[in-house]
Structure formats: structure tokens, C-alpha cells
Amino acid sequence: MSTLSDPPSGSFQLSMLINDTRYRSYTFQFVALVLLVAAMAYLGWNLVQNLTAAGLNISYQFLGEPAGYDINQTLISYTSQSTHWRASLVGVLNTLLVAFLGCIMATIIGVVVGVLRLSNNWIVRKLTSFYVEIFRNVPVLIWILIIMAVFVAVLPQPRDFRGDNPEASMVLDAFAFTGRGFYSPAPIFGPGSGVVIAVFLASIVGIFAFRKHARKALFERGQLIPTFWPSVALFFIPAILAFFIMGRPIGLDYPELKGFNFQGGIFMRNSLIALWFALSIYTAAFIAENVRAGILAVSKGQTEAAASLGLRPNRIMNLVVLPQALRVIIPPLISHYLNLTKNSSLAIAVGYMDLTGTLGGITLNQTGRAIECVVLLMLFYLTISLSISALMNVYNNSVKLQER
């Protein structure tokens, strides 16, 4: 005898919004939405009333006024006479720069450490375990300050590179690591450089297409196509050929010591390096644990079955273990990327001018527009967090278990 949870279909009645399970969940969701909108409307009305009583108003005209302060690390042209909007844009780009570099380095370190934590070598396993426990149990701000202090105290100053000083010499006559920051050659793009860049990007696309073809051939026909050396050839040879065919259109501007500082090349302040390294090694400790958990989540029988088929350990890891482990690794990895991006707001502790230091710091103090600046800060971090989450969720959907 069957039991019906819903009444038979018929004419719609208002009582069905509560009594009918087909509509009850929608009713509760609608009521919750109305209450949320009402609460937000009340808070907004209360804010407007308080501002009116204090003789204040919401205005963003201050963004068009001259900022009046300098920024020590910029990716675009900026002077003290630029607008607050320009200063905020510089802060946004600085935040995105350290977040992008940090996510890449944290992923590389985290994956390597996570795999090594499962090594059969006792020393390697204990060293990686020591790294994870030390770095993830100390606040990231402490690591930022420690690394910054080490750079300032240990690395030589630019003036020390004068004369024959073995402790202060350039690496390969191209790189200089100083207490002020790191100097490296900067590319100089001449006519025809766009062709070389286009060929290089096409080579990257070709590598992914080739590896996808090799994987498809392996899964469908059992044909094993080598991918390492062809990928290396695709990465270097086309771009090198285009470089010489176009008459070497890309050169390098090397840093040179002039006076008491280096001139030319790319300059990365020690505050940026310290923040980048600290966020990377701190977040990598958490990522390593997620990688280890994802690998352990794969049944040992999968590894044994792959080994019985004659697959080498590296191919077992690449073809059997990691594809299944990614389904466990990716969801928490998204949270770690978001945390790294938001932790970059600690940059002001070492003098790196990110968005919190420009818009949420000097601009806010100069203009007194606290509400406007805080709202813009919230919108930026909300936008970048939702963007990272959306992109990672697309990748997560591509690696999740596909049912037939």
C-alpha cells in the first residue's frame, strides 16, 4: 500500500503554500528573502537618516581629486598629482599581482610537499611534516614580518655592490638581491615582437592540445604517446625560430649600479617579495594537507591494480591517483585561494601599497570619506573572491565524477 506525501493535483489554493510539500520550501525561501530585503532596507534608511542628521552625504567626487601622495610600487604610471581613483587602481593592481603570484607559488609548493608527506623516506616525510606544522600554526602576519626582517638584515645594500665584495655581487651579471629589493632584466619589445609573443602563446595552446590528444589515445586505444620531450620542443623551438626570423626583436635591459642605487631592469621591492613569500609558504602548508588527504582518499586497490598492469609509479600518480584526488582537493583549494587574496590586505604591515593601503588607508584618512572607501573595498574583495570562486568551480566541474 503506497503513501502519498502530496495531495492529488487540482485547483491551486493559498493553503497549499504551507500544507503542500511541493510549495512549502518556496514559501519559506520567499519569506526569508523578504525579511532580508527589509532588514537591508532598514539599515540603509537608518544610515541615510544618521548622515542627514550629521550634515553629511554619500559622494564619490573625491575620487577625481589629486591624491597628493606617492606609491612606492606601481604597475602603471602614477604621480602624486594623480587622482584618488588612479591611486585606487594602482592598489587594485598591486593586490592582484601579489594574489596571482602567491596562488601559483602556494600551489606548486603545496602539491610537492603534500606528495612528499606520503614518501617512504622517513627523513623526507618528517621534514615535510615539520614544515606543515610550523607554518600553519603561526599567524601569517608573523611570517610576513620575519621574512621582511631577514631581507633587511641579511641582504646587502646597493652601495655594497661597489668594488670587489664577494658577499655583494650580481648573479650572472643580471640579478641583484639587495635589502631594498630585487633587480632583474626587463624585456625590451621592438618591431616584430608581437609575432614572437603570438607564436609563443600558440605553442602553449599546442602543448595542451597535444597532451589532450595523447591522453585520449591512451584511454581509447591504449596507445602510449610520449609527451614530455614533445612538450619541451613545442615550448621552445617555435618561439626561438620566430625570434631569429624576425631579427631578434626582443632585448633585455640589465640593471646597472649608478651612484648609490641600481638603474634599469625590473625592480621588485622587498616588501612585495616578503609578502609574496610569506603568503605562499603559509598557504602552501594548508594546501599540502589537502593534497595528502586527496591522495589518501583514493583506494589503495586502485594503485595496486595500476601497478599490476605494469604502469610506472609516476604514471600511476598522473593517470590514476591525481585525477581522482582532485575531486577531493579542489573544493578546499578554492577557500585557500580566497584566504590568500584576502590576507594580502596585511601588506600595509611591511609598507606594500595594496588597495587597503591606498583606498582604505591614505585616501580614507585624507578625504574623511570612510563609508565610501569601505564600501568600495568591500565591493572589490567581493568581486575578486566571487571571480576566483567561479573560475575554480568551472574547473571543479570538469574534474568531478562523470556518471554514464
CA atoms within 13 Å, Cβ hemisphere of 198: 5
Distances 275 to 21, 188, 399 between C-alpha atoms, Å: 53, 28, 32
- Distance, in Å, from the CA atom of 359 to the CA atom of 376, rounded to the nearest integer, reads 8
Last residue in a domain, options 253, 286, 306: 253
pLDDT at 166: 58
Candidate from 9-18, 85-94, 304-313 with smallest mean pLDDT: 9-18
Q: Is 310 left (phi over 0), alpha (psi -120 to 50) or beta?
A: left
Q: What is the pLDDT of residues 75-119, one digit of tens each?
A: 888 888 888 888 888 888 989 999 999 999 999 999 889 888 888
Which amino acid does the sequence have at 41?
A
Q: Does residue 193 surpass a pLDDT of 70?
A: yes
Q: What is the reported pLDDT for 404?
A: 46
Q: How far apart are CA 401 and CA 143, in angstroms?
A: 38
Residue 320, domain extent: 84-176+270-399
Residues 212, 292, single domain; the answer is no
Note whether 33 and 146 are same-domain residues.
no
Mean pLDDT in the chain?
Answer: 82
Residue 299 lies in a domain: yes
Q: Is residue 2 part of a domain?
A: no
Cβ distance 332 to 396 under 8 Å? no
**pLDDT on residue 355:** 86
The reported pLDDT for the residue numbered 215 is: 79
pLDDT at residue 8 tops 60: no
Query: What percent of the chain stands above pLDDT 90?
Result: 6
Q: Give residue-wise pLDDT tens across range 277-299.
A: 999 999 999 999 888 888 888 88
Question: In this structure, is residue 260 part of a structural domain?
Answer: no
Residue 195 lies in a domain: yes
Q: Are residues 218 and 349 in the same domain?
A: no
Is residue 36 included in any domain, yes or no?
Answer: yes
Neighbours of 309 (CB within 10 A): 9
Is 325 in contact with 295 (CB distance < 8 Å)?
yes
Q: Quick check: 380 pLDDT over 50?
A: yes
Q: Domain check: are 142 and 282 in the same one?
A: yes
Do residue 162 and residue 309 come from a single domain? yes
pLDDT band at 402 (very low <50, low <70, confident <90, very high): low
Residue 229 has pLDDT above 70, yes or no: yes
Neighbour count for residue 403 (Cβ, 10 Å) = 4
Mean pLDDT of 214-224: 77
Same domain, 150 and 207: no
Residue 163 has pLDDT above 70, yes or no: no
Answer yes or no: is 11 within a domain: no
CATH number of the domain at 284, please: 1.10.3720.10
Tell whether 161 is covered by a domain.
yes
pLDDT digits (tens, 9 = 90+) for 330-372: 888 888 998 898 888 888 888 888 888 888 888 888 887 888 8
**Residue 2: its pLDDT value, please?**
47
Of 325 and 260, which is predicted with more confidence?
A: 325
Q: What is the DSSP string of 28-89?
A: HHHHHHHHHHHHHHHHHHHHHHHHHHTT-----GGGGSB-----SS-SS---TTSBHHHHHH
Q: At what angle do helices 122-136 and 84-116 cross, to 10 degrees?
A: 150
If asked whether residues 172 and 298 sit together in one domain, one would say: yes
Q: Strand order in 266-269's β-sheet?
A: 176-177, 181-184, 266-269
Q: How far apart are CA 314 and CA 329, in angstroms?
A: 19
Regarding whether 201 and 231 lie in a shared domain, the answer is yes
pLDDT recorded at residue 165: 62
**Same domain, residue pair 165 and 278:** yes
Q: Are residues 40 and 167 in the same domain?
A: no
Q: What is the mean pLDDT of residues 119-133?
A: 87
Distance CA 330, CA 392 (A): 8
Q: Looking at the domain assignment, is residue 64 inside a domain?
A: no
pLDDT given for residue 106 in this prediction = 92
Instruction: For residues 195 and 48, state if they share a domain.
Output: no
Count of the separate structural domains present in the chain: 3
The more confidently predicted of residues 267 and 20 is 267
pLDDT digits 0-9 by tens, 242-258: 888 888 888 887 887 77
Residues 276 and 238 reside in one and the same domain: no
What is residue 184's DSSP assignment? Answer: E
